[in-house]
Amino acid sequence: MHHRLTLIVLLAVFCWKAQAQKSLPQAMVLVKGGTFVPLYGGDSTAVKVQSFLLDVYPVTNQQYLDFLQKNPAWRKSAVKKIFADQNYLRGWETDLSYGPNPEKISNSPVVSVSWFAAKAYCECQGKRLATVEEWEYAAMASETKANAANDEKFYQRSIEWYSQPNPTYLPPVQQSFKNYYGLYGMIGLVWEWTQDFNSALLIGESRANASLDRQLFCGSGSSGAKDTKNYVAFMRYAFRSSLKANYTVSNLGFRCAQSLQP
Amino acid sequence: MKSLFCLSFILALALSGCKQPQPADAHASHQAMAPTATAVATNQPLSDMSLYNLSSEWQNQNGEPLTLPQLQGKVQLMAMIYTSCTYACPRIVADLRRIEESLDKYETGDVGIVLVTMDPENDTPEKLKAFAQENKLNPDRWTLLTSSEANIQELAVLLNMKYKNSGNGQIAHSNIISVLNAQGEIMHQQQGLGTDPDETVKSIEALLQAL
């Protein structure tokens, strides 16, 4: 009898703990469409972004673990190198355990995931990765304004965020910067994968003022930038252009997006 | 018995996983493969770095369905184009033909050339076929492929291609010719237009000797 009681208590504690560690609901918010001038684009004109849904938070370790439980092909030991390099889920102890201090990072963004892995995760949720334009459009928002493109203070703050080194434990996603749309961590948490990360033609011959359908040579990518004030966006474009789809980076995570039903 | 086990394993995987395309595991890709002339080669499991690990479905210029593992068994030259492209694509095709000419002595069964469209919306199999005929591309050598935008992008990122569709009929893109070995691994890449094909030809010849 005594033993049975102990067992029940133990089970209850275990369940409660499991409950506490359960992932946050993957809520999304509406990002209302509009036009903006991306830092890099074919022409110097504004592009139109349709309204879309974006995850409130980047995907967390716990959420990613849930995904791995259902999708063995993406576990560390099973994944093919062409889809995720050797540092995939670096720091994870085993296929299904993300570290020695799980409670510290269960709600932190999952990092060291490849583009293929991020894409597969989103597809499993019936979602997709955001396009570069969608992501940049949503990231223009400060706490109070959808478009903080002319807010020098916001830029300055963003640069300061980027200049800080990564902490040992990435903070929980809900503790990060929340912008106008209700999106957390668009700045100041981790870099994020985008669907068409390979669309920035920074290697274009920008002096010819037409990267379209021209031989791609030469550097000087920055001279093609539209808004030199937006240095953090420049960093993001430069970072993206350095990525390959199977790369994993210790401060590169992702979140998912969804188109609105037509 | 073994195959029954295998089948139920796959079924279990399929049921527990998601419906979206997954990287083909060795069993699944073999099951799905149509018997082809390259059946011998396809019996080998794909290496980790083979592009043919992509499980996407494609159509060639004849409108026939095709999966990438069917390209196995030959050295393949792969490049991306779109048929309404006026500047770079004709030149990349010209570069490929230059390479083809210097490989004249090799059978079409040993070296193939694959052109993948970046513009699936416009480049239907019919358009690709017309493009091939216009450019007098030998159908025994050249395969032109189209698929969904998502599938094309997956292949493009593996080929290290950067491209952006500006939506006005123009696509900004890098110009890369990739040499794939018989197992579908990238062995060499030639970048830019009008590049001296010497190195590329040498890498192909080295692969052919190893065949």
ipTM confidence score: 0.80
Q: Are B10 and B2 in contact (CB under 8 A)?
A: no
- Enumerate residues 6+ apart whose C-beta is below 8 A from A131: A194, A195, A196, A257
Task: Considering the domain delimited by A26-199+230-259, tell me its CATH architecture.
Answer: Alpha-Beta Complex (3.90)
The domain locations on chain B are 33-210
For all residues of chain B together, what is the average pLDDT? Answer: 83
B18 part of contact set with chain A, CB < 8 Å: yes
What pLDDT, on a 0 to 100 scale, did the predictor assign at position A155? 84
The stretch B93-107 carries a mean pLDDT of 91
Within 132-161 of B, beta carbons closer than 8 Å to A belong to 153-154, 156-158, 160-161
Question: Does B175 contact A216 at a Cβ distance shorter than 8 Å?
Answer: yes
Which chain B residue has the Cα nearest residue A202?
B162
- Enumerate residues 6+ apart whose C-beta is below 8 A from A6: none
Binned at pLDDT 50, 70 and 90, residue B95 comes out as very high
What pLDDT, on a 0 to 100 scale, did the predictor assign at position A215? 37
3-state secondary structure of A54: strand
Residue that wins the pLDDT comparison between B16 and A48 = A48
Residue for token pair 């995850």: A55
Integer CA distances (angstroms), B85 to A201, A213, B91, B106, in order: 17, 8, 10, 30
Q: How far is B201 from chain A (nearest CA, A)?
A: 22
B22 part of contact set with chain A, CB < 8 Å: yes
Binned at pLDDT 50, 70 and 90, residue B167 comes out as confident
The domain locations on chain A are 26-199+230-259
What pLDDT digit, counting tens, does each position of B115-151 carry?
999 999 999 999 999 999 999 999 999 999 999 999 9
Q: In chain B, pLDDT over 70 holds for what percent of residues? A: 79
d(CA B30, CA B34): 9
- Of the candidate ranges A83-87, A102-106, A173-177, B10-14, the one whose mean pLDDT is the lowest: B10-14
Q: How far is CA B59 from the centre of its chain?
A: 11
pLDDT at B205 over 90: yes
Binned at pLDDT 50, 70 and 90, residue A227 comes out as low
What pLDDT, on a 0 to 100 scale, did the predictor assign at position A86? 96
Question: Does A70 contact B170 at a Cβ distance shorter than 8 Å?
Answer: no
pLDDT at B20 over 90: no
pLDDT at A13 over 80: no
Q: Are A177 and A187 in contact (CB under 8 A)?
A: yes
Residue that wins the pLDDT comparison between B62 and A229 = B62
Binned at pLDDT 50, 70 and 90, residue B7 comes out as very low
In CATH terms, the superfamily for domain B33-210 is Glutaredoxin (3.40.30.10)
3-state secondary structure of B143: strand
Q: How far is B173 from chain A (nearest CA, A)?
A: 7
The stretch A186-203 carries a mean pLDDT of 86
3-state secondary structure of B10: helix
What pLDDT digit, counting tens, does each position of A209-220 carry?
334 334 333 334
Chain A residue numbers with beta carbons less than 8 Å from the beta carbon of B192 are: 215-217
- Paired residues of A36 in beta bridges: A47
Which chain A residue has the Cα nearest residue B194?
A215
Q: Are B178 and B159 in contact (CB under 8 A)?
A: yes
Q: Are B88 and A213 in contact (CB under 8 A)?
A: yes
For all residues of chain A together, what is the average pLDDT? Answer: 82
Beta carbons within 10 angstroms of residue B136's beta carbon? 8
What pLDDT digit, counting tens, does each position of A76-92 carry?
999 999 999 999 999 99
